[in-house]
Every structure is written in structure tokens, then in C-alpha cells.
Chain A
């Protein structure tokens, strides 16, 4: 790690171990003594919250897998059996299903925080890219996990999403069959989704270790975006941030528990309590809420674009919406990290957040429904989603590159310490 190790093995066994496998030293340097900027606010607690939720999902998932049957004839009933007959199965199943939603709540807040404070910029590009890969794997795990209960939305969601791959020219249909393991979504698909759903969380756990490693080499970014310059800028991670993260984790767990115990199915869809039936299509196929913005982007492309059909265009736009995040560290040309000191970018970011929420709204609605309508004039959701999709891409591909040259940033504090002590005129309160 980047800072000088201050770990001193005291007991005999620690000394013995330290000269063979310095794992206690690694833990001490990473989570006890690690110098952390003293001005991190609560937006910086979501990393710890995400780690807790990864553990919750893996532990509850391992128990569920002991009782779940990945077969089209038994999957639906086995999930109900978990909820009815397994000791505390109703609790574990509800924690796992709602845990996925809260995992995404936390990851979205974590990502928006990174976007606002410029945490993706040098020297943290690799840290950001590993994060985007984790996010992609989370989406894959969540999508396959939603298929496992084998309800109507499971089956039809899987059908819609895997069919997207079929839109790719030449290889699309071959890849789709290869994914299905059959000529339609069926038992082979369910089996492999279960297998991969069990695998991916461990890949995520491995990437989380790399993510923390890549965090600890340059050290944390902070709300000022000014890099750590001296000892006065930092505090040891423990006890300062263990206690602050700990408080945030408990508050977040309270909200989570409120859903698990009092609103266990409010984030789900009623149709998923109907067993999958390939002969009956639900009136309205919608993914889980955390995919709705991307679903809206997918459906926003309603026109052919040269040789690209509307369907392929939608697929490309949807994957492009995530792909553009990989290029973000090089798209944003501004040398200033934190948007606190970027008067124009700050507003563009706020509109970007609203656009993402608006896309989520569009994704939940039938595209032909009207956002508003009076006197025969109205706007259907598909048009709103087209406007918001355009803004999504303009934000990354035009606004951030151009602002780097045209925006005049506000004066930044000399150091984190100066901003905290208020000796700089531009210093803002840390919280």
C-alpha cells in the first residue's frame, strides 16, 4: 500500500506470522491505520454499505441455494416452499430479494458520488473502471437471480433480454441459442442461470479486493477534489471512519429492515407470483426498478439508422450507456475534480441525475401512454425517453469534454486541512 507501514507485531504469534505471511499487517495498514482524508462526508459511506450488502447477499444466497430447485417444474414451488416451510425461509428469501434492490440503491448513490466529486479522474481511472466492471457483473447477477423464481416476469424478462442479443447481425442468433442452451428459454437456461448466479458474486468479491487495492494506492478522493498533501489532511481510518461508516451502515440497515419486514413485496411485481407460462404473455413486461432507465433507453430508439435497425440501435444504445462509463476518465477534460468548484458542470450533473430518474419513470410506463395531455396535444413517454436518452449521451460525450475547455472553475482551497480550518476563502464546510 502507498503509505509507510506502522504495524508492529506485539505478540509472539503475530511476529511469527508477520515474517511468513504478513496478513495481519495488510489488514492493519488497510483498515486501521490507513490515512483517510478528514473531510469525507456521508456520501462516502456507501462503499462500506456495499461491502455489507455483498456479504448479506452471499450469506442469504448460500442458504437459499440449499433449498432451491433449479428445474422448470419445481423452481416456483421450491421458492414458495422456502417462504412457507423452511425455518425462517420467509426472512432469508425476503432479505435476498430486497437486498438486491438495496444493493442497487447503494451502488447508484456510490456512482453518483463518484461522478459529482470527480473520483474517476487521474490517478483513479483504474479504480473507476474496476467499479464499472463490478456494476456490470451486479447487473448480470441481478438479472439471472430474478429469473430463478420462475414467475411470469422471470420467464418473460429473460425472453425479452436474451432476445436482444439476437438483434446483433450475423452472430446474434447463434449467440442467443448458445445462451439459452435450447431454442427458447427453458430448463437448460434456468440451470445455467442458477450456476452463473452462484458464480458471479464470488467474481464480484474478487474484484472488490482489487477495487480496494486500487483505492488504497492513490488514497481516497474527497469532497474538495484536492489531493492529500500532508499529515494534517488525513486521519487514520480507524476509529474515525469505522465509526462513521458504522453509523451510516446501521441507518441504511434500518431502512432495509423496514422493507424486509413491513413492505416485503412492494419492490417486486405481482405477476412474478404467477408461475411462468410460455403460452401467456403478461400485458406489460417490465424489469426490476434498477434496470428501468436502461430499459427506457432500449425502447427509445424507434427508428432505423442507416443499416442499423431500430432494435439493434436500441441494444447498442443500452450497452453504450454503460460502455460510455469506461471512457469517462478520458472524456472529462477538466483538471478540477470536485463539482463544488465547477459552476456549470454542477448544474449539468444535477440535470443528469434528474434525467436518470426520468428514464426510470419512462421505463416503468407503456411507451404509448401520455406524460401529459391537454387540448389534443400531449407527449407520449417514448418521446420523453428519447429526449432524456439524448441528454444522457450528450452529458458524457459533449458537455464534459467541452466544459473542460470553456468552464472557469471557482477557486479551490490549498489543501484539505485549509478547507477544514476555513483559512481559504473558497473553503466550504465539509458536511
Chain B
């Protein structure tokens, strides 16, 4: 039997063609994120900076169709708590995120076209918290045509939609400083990034030191931008993560106590029975 298996294996090895040599894909670099682990949460300030990076850099090509402005002010969102204008050092929150002034202000920066129900004409109006994030393109065809044939992916669930998640996206954003291997040929408009499967992608490096002016004293480096925008995208992919973990703790404690009680009941019931 052993010899038979060895023969089979040898035959199979001969029959398998050598893998085509091409740029090797790097495994994403592991990064410590604030939201990892059973108690990890998002850092609101980081989500706010990440939103800024998304809006100033990524949003010119990447949509986030599933997000509304009101999501930014909901529990667990970047603007859930705002500094209280009347009492310094204290925070306020809004039961209805549509009343959140920061959310209203962000939404109002955009204009939306809709049909005036009185006249049937198109009219422009200011954005409100209930509006979705605007899509940079009028339609998918335009998105593809403006980007060499492939539409940039929507970012609503991008962290869930990529194997490697947050680590992968951070590595990709910072992974352009590698020399192009000899067996990789780049066409015009293509870039080399060893973290991208296959190594060749249309998106070039986007984050440069100092490109996004932060209001606070957070370092304005490409590394920091990448970390912040990935944090924001991770929140957007699963806005109820903090609620999920909080409830999970209660459920686990409940089930643990329940299990102990059931075990004691089991011991009691079976105490005098041979089994």
C-alpha cells in the first residue's frame, strides 16, 4: 500500500505543471487595531479622521452606497458624542442622529437632485442626514469608463469583502514601495503592489505625507492616514460591532450561569442513580 501511494504521488508530481512564475503575493502585514478582541472598540476620533481621509482622498473614485449620513451619528458611530457647547469638557449625544448638528452639517455640504412634486421638474436641494453618501459617478458604466474599464469597488462593506480584512487594506494602501519584479510587465496606468493578488492593479499610491490636513495634532503621515481610513472602513462594514460585543458579554455570562445551574441540577437528579 505504501509503495502504491508513493508511486501515485510521484506520478502526480510529474503530471503537475510548475506554477507559472509571477510576482509573489505578500501576506498582509499584521497590525494592532483598537477594535480587535472581545472587548475592542472603535476610537471615535480615529473614525472622524478616517472619514476625513475617505472624503478628501478615496471618495473621488470609491462610493459607499450603503451608508447614510445619519449613520455617522448613530450609537457606535464617529459623531455619537459631541462636545457640549454649554459645559466645557462634557459630551452630549442625540437620541435621533438626524438632529446631530455635525451630521447635519456634513450632509449639507452635498447637493442632491430630485423631482419637484409640484412641477415635475428636477430640482437641487441640500443634503440631509437621511441621504446616502453621494456616488462619485452617475452610473456603473461611467465608473468603469473613467477607470480604464474596471469600476472602483464600493467601500460600504469592503473590510468584510476582502480576505485579510483591515490588515489587507492597510498593507495595500502602503504597499507601493516595492521594486517591480523582472517577470512583471506593467502597462500604462498599471501599478505594482505585492499585496494585491497577482501584483498588478490600476490604482496608484493615494496617501502621501501631509496630504490631508488634520485639525488636531495627530501625525499627518501616510501611515497614519492609512490606519485611520481603514478604521473608518471597518466601522462602516459593521456599524453595530460595539453593540454586538457588549450584548455578547451579557449573553455569555447568562449562559455560563445557566450552564452551571443545569450541571448542578443534573448532578442532583442523577445522584442516586447508577449509570
Chain A residues with CB under 8 Å of chain B are 38-39, 77, 80-81, 83-84, 90-91, 94, 235, 239-240, 243-244, 246-247, 250-251, 253-254, 257-258, 260-262, 264-265, 270-271, 273-274, 283, 368, 370, 373, 376-380, 382-383, 387, 420-421, 430-431
- Which of A235, A264, A270, A377 sits near B162, CB closer than 8 Å? A270
Indicate if B117 sits at the interface (CB-CB under 8 A).
no
The answer on a CB contact under 8 Å between A38 and B273 is yes
Chain A proximity of B240: nearest CB distance (Å): 4
The answer on a CB contact under 8 Å between B245 and A254 is no
The answer on a CB contact under 8 Å between A383 and B9 is yes
Contacts of A84 in B (CB 8 A): 66, 71, 239-240
Given known contacts A377-B9, A379-B12, A379-B13, A261 and B252 CB-to-CB distance under 8 angstroms: yes
Given known contacts A273-B157, A376-B13, A379-B12, A247 and B248 CB-to-CB distance under 8 angstroms: no
Within 8 A of A (CB), among B111-164: 153, 156-157, 160-163
Given known contacts A247-B266, A270-B163, A373-B13, A83 and B240 CB-to-CB distance under 8 angstroms: yes
The answer on a CB contact under 8 Å between A80 and B156 is yes
- A-B pairs, top 7 by smallest CB distance, nearest first, are A261-B248, A273-B161, A247-B262, A379-B9, A273-B160, A270-B163, A90-B240
Within 8 A of A (CB), among B219-247: 237-240, 243-245, 247
Docked complex Cα distance between A370 and B13 (Å): 9
Contacts of A379 in B (CB 8 A): 5, 8-9, 12-13
Closest to A387 in B: B5
The answer on a CB contact under 8 Å between B248 and A271 is no
Chain B residues with CB under 8 Å of chain A are 5, 8-10, 12-13, 16, 38, 65-66, 71, 153, 156-157, 160-163, 165, 197, 237-240, 243-245, 247-248, 251-252, 255-256, 258-259, 262-263, 265-266, 269-270, 273-275
Contacts of B259 in A (CB 8 A): 247, 250-251, 254
Chain A proximity of B154: nearest CB distance (Å): 8
The answer on a CB contact under 8 Å between B255 and A250 is yes
The answer on a CB contact under 8 Å between A261 and B244 is yes
The answer on a CB contact under 8 Å between A377 and B10 is yes
Contacts of B244 in A (CB 8 A): 90-91, 94, 261, 264
The answer on a CB contact under 8 Å between A243 and B269 is yes
Docked complex Cα distance between A250 and B12 (Å): 48
The answer on a CB contact under 8 Å between B248 and A257 is yes
The answer on a CB contact under 8 Å between A244 and B266 is yes
Docked complex Cα distance between A273 and B239 (Å): 15
Docked complex Cα distance between A246 and B247 (Å): 23
The answer on a CB contact under 8 Å between B161 and A274 is yes
Docked complex Cα distance between A250 and B261 (Å): 10
Docked complex Cα distance between A421 and B266 (Å): 20
The answer on a CB contact under 8 Å between B247 and A283 is no
The answer on a CB contact under 8 Å between A283 and B275 is no
Docked complex Cα distance between A373 and B251 (Å): 46
11 A-B interface contacts by CB (under 8 A): A38-B273, A247-B265, A247-B266, A250-B259, A265-B160, A270-B162, A274-B153, A274-B161, A283-B197, A377-B10, A380-B13
The answer on a CB contact under 8 Å between B269 and A240 is yes
Contacts of B255 in A (CB 8 A): 250, 253-254, 257
Given known contacts A84-B240, A261-B252, A240 and B270 CB-to-CB distance under 8 angstroms: yes
The answer on a CB contact under 8 Å between B240 and A378 is no
